[in-house]
Chain A
Amino acid sequence: MDESRQSDASLMTALQEGSSAAMSILVERWQPRLLGFVYRYIQNETVARDLVEETFVRLYLSRDRFDPERNFSTWLFGIAANLCRNQYRWWKRRRETSLAEAPETADDRSPAEQAARRDRDTRLAAAIQALPHALRSTLLLYYFSGLSYTEIAQSLGCSVRGVESRLYRARQRLGKSLSLPAAPMQQPAMTRPGLLEDRALKTSTTQ
């Protein structure tokens, strides 16, 4: 059977049996979404890439504890969210800013529009960075990882009601910070079909 078509759970089983090919497939499959989430949380590209790498290393080290009955993505994003939180705490202790790097946003518009967009994104990034870990991780997982409420709850170790509450509070705070109306969410989370935004994450391996 072609390994690239295997489910995450069966790849994890193969990884438990010592298959390095399984790890390569998992990395290729999950790197874009993981990088998207981690970058938006950390807002520093170099550190985000390091954390993504560390996430996969942790995944390998704890492979024997993986329960095939459990959703792989919740496990993976749970590891990543913890790493992000630890990194951010480390930064806070050293009073450093993580907004040193801001990669270009995918755009083919005019320079004026691009400048306006950069400004808008910078303010959004700053507002997100001001959120506490619980709210920030919930918001980013909801918008950029493609996980459902239940999966987010499993990743972050809280209840589904907790996810709803956190998401509501995060949106309220963001709306206030950006002077924007926190309009009702466009798609019901429980039925949301996967990822909303990772179009700009170009997979170089496919080039």
Chain B
Amino acid sequence: MTEKERNTLDDRLHAWNPRLDTDPDLGRKVLRRIGEPGRHERLQALSLNRFRFVAYGALAALVLVGVFLASQQLERHRLLRDGSYCLLIDPVFRAQNSRSEANPEVPGIPSESYLDRLAWMQDRLDLSREQFMTLVDLHRQYADRFDGLYRELVQLDREYGQFEDLRLHDAAIDFMALYDVLQEKRAAEAASHSLSQEFIGQVLAILNSRQRPVYLSLVHNVNTNKHG
């Protein structure tokens, strides 16, 4: 085909014929790159295993963190519940807690709700059904007296607070009356202490030797002003 003849596109394309020698080593190069048969699969399996290892590691770490957080949550919940139980059997502690409340007059607990409120004790102390029902009855029996002492302590706290207000704004206060209030408060706190100790003694009498230490650890802060 001469220069004159190459005047159509097809001619030009057909004439575009670069001199390219094929590479006699290409086959070997390709085989070298892909390695011996099965190498790629092994590499893939290895990287998959590595990935799997990392994934399992991350999963295990997540599970550990989850377990840790759950245990922290349970511990906090347990402390709150223990504190809540101490409020039930320690009028002084309950009165101290109610000082920050706008309305510390806590209504009495309906007697049937004790079953629910104390249900956790069954597991915690590993109580038999009979022990549990006896304990519920015991809590019901003492509830009125605990509530009465609580109300008395709250009332005395208020009266003491009024004396404090007067003392700050008007120096003229009846110190004898203040003394009486403080005496009444001390007496109520002593009564509360005695009643709590009496109650705890009654509970311990219901529990066996294995359950008693658990219960004592639960109420060891009662009347010591160290509630969690």
**Do B17 and A197 have beta carbons less than 8 Å apart?**
yes
Q: How far is the CB of B44 from chain A (nearest CB, A)?
A: 10
When the two chains form their complex, are residues A120 and B15 in contact, meaning their CB atoms are under 8 A apart? yes
Residues 171-206 of A, flagged 1 when their CB comes within 8 A of B and 0 if not, give: 100110010111101100000000011011111110
**Bound state CA distance, A204 and B16, in angstroms?**
21
CB-contact partner of A105 in B8, B19, B22, under 8 A: B19
B3 within 8 A of A: yes
CB of A57 within 8 A of CB of B17, answer no
Contacts of A180 in B (CB 8 A): 7-9, 12
Are A39 and B18 touching (Cβ within 8 A)? yes
Contact A53 B30 (CB under 8 A): yes
Taking a contact as CB atoms closer than 8 A, the residue among A61, A185, A196 that contacts B40 in the complex is A61
A38-67 at interface with B (beta carbon < 8 Å):
39-40, 45, 48-49, 52-53, 56-57, 60-61
Binary contact readout B8-48 vs A (1 if CB under 8 angstroms, 0 otherwise): 11101111111111111011111101101110100000000
The 9 closest A-B pairs by CB, nearest first: A18-B37, A24-B27, A183-B8, A27-B27, A200-B17, A56-B30, A205-B24, A204-B24, A60-B34
**B residues apposed to A, CB below 8 Å:** 3, 6-10, 12-24, 26-31, 33-34, 36-38, 40
What are 24 A-B contacts with C-beta separation under 8 Å? A18-B38, A19-B37, A20-B31, A20-B37, A28-B27, A32-B22, A35-B20, A102-B18, A106-B19, A120-B15, A121-B16, A121-B18, A124-B13, A125-B16, A180-B7, A180-B9, A180-B12, A185-B10, A196-B14, A200-B17, A200-B18, A202-B21, A203-B22, A205-B24
